[in-house]
Amino acid sequence: MKKHDRKAKGDNYQNYTYAVIIILLMLFIAAGHFPIRHLWGFNHLIFFPENLVYILAPILLILLLPSVGDDIYKNLSRFSRAIRRHDRIIQLILIGFFSLIIFYFFRS
């Protein structure tokens, strides 16, 4: 396989991935507006204010940019390495604390 063929195959895969993400993003936005019961996890936005959809959609589109995604990945991996340096009990306490914050924001 030539170098050019591998690059073209990678570009096709990236284009396919972006197409799937854009379709999921459109479902995400549509689910915030239609109170359909059977959207299987896409309609969780129905429980939040309608303006949240308009705030989250651009944020999700910005995350598709490779430079932004790489920066987030680097920071998360650095954070993960920092947590792994601690004892197991400290790790569990930190995980519990972050989970508590997430559950607090998504309470109903």
Residue 38 — pLDDT band, cuts 50, 70, 90? Answer: low
Query: How far apart are the C-alpha atoms of 44 and 50, rounded to whole Å?
Result: 12
* 69 in Cβ contact with 63 (< 8 Å): yes
Average pLDDT for the chain: 77
Across the range 84-103, mean pLDDT stands at 88
Residue 97: per-residue pLDDT: 92
Residue 43 — pLDDT band, cuts 50, 70, 90? Answer: low
24: nearest Cα among 48, 7, 40: 40
Residue 32: per-residue pLDDT: 63
pTM: 0.48
Q: Where are the domains of the chain?
A: 1-64, 65-108
* 69 in Cβ contact with 81 (< 8 Å): no
**Alpha carbons within 13 A on the beta-carbon side of 15:** 6
